Structure 1
């Protein structure tokens, strides 16, 4: 994984890397998302078995996916009483739209900061000029 945008531009960056970066996910989270897409709704135990990980690890991954909005939880009732939860992945085209929206928002914010750089640099140059004038006096 690359550490900066500069490295990202020059590296062979894959779609999966971009999704992890934009949505703040880990490799295991992406793997869990793919499993939910392939297998359909799963319980935490079911996902843990397929991932070959502890239930708690699968649960943490599901929470990460829920937090960023690519998985949601549905409650199912048992005929004998009680309930359980199944986790469902959103469709890939929905994730694509989500990633695109996040990138667009980030781009606008960065562009705004870049526009403010002129003002900040000008102010800094004026301050340095004022300090040099005072030193010369």
Structure 2
């Protein structure tokens, strides 16, 4: 870890720090830009948890110079984790399946697969269907949205964020002096 990082206890993490970046914080992410802080290679602020060390950039130009990948952008913009993206990819490739089947493919517990599916449903990338068992009972089968829809969602979120930032920037000369 570069020496310019500052280790800070959880109590000193800024209020705008996204909750999903550190398991002990309860702050919800406010806007898309905050999600970008988890990208690798930008050397400014670290939590004190070595397992979940996160680095925050100082500026948008630093983020632009970062090493972005498609998975990073999708995770960032939609507030997902690596396991969630992996689960989405499996559902796209293999088709609809249960949480148990997904867990086996991902070599994770069913409960872990279920949490990822919940995250994917919340973000709108997955929906579930109730299937009836002929002998009685039911189970859930999860189906992923097409990657083209994921692309539309990501682009839409970027556009929304951009428009919001443009509105704020339009009055920055007046607002900053208040």
Same structural fold, with TM-score higher than 0.5 when normalized by the shorter chain: yes
**1:81-125 alpha-carbon deviations (Å, 9 max, x no partner):** 11100000000001100111111001001111111211113x34x
Gaps of 5+ in 1: 125-137
| Structure 2 counterpart of 1:28 | 83
The CA deviation string for residues 19-47 of structure 1, in whole angstroms up to 9 with x for no partner, is 11100011110000000011100101000
* Larger of the two Rg values belongs to structure: 1
Runs of 4+ in 1 over 2 A off after TM superposition: 1-8
Are 1:93 and 2:148 counterparts? Answer: yes
Match of 1:68 in 2: 123
Please report the RMSD computed on the Cα atoms of aligned residues, expressed in angstroms. Answer: 1.2
* Residue of 132, 135, 143 corresponding to 1:80: 135
Greater relative CO, 1 or 2 (CA 8 Å, sep 6+): 1
- Displacement of 1:6 after TM fit? 3.5
Bigger fraction of residues in helix: 1
Q: TM-score, normalised by structure 1?
A: 0.85
- Specify the SS of the correspondent of 2:128: strand
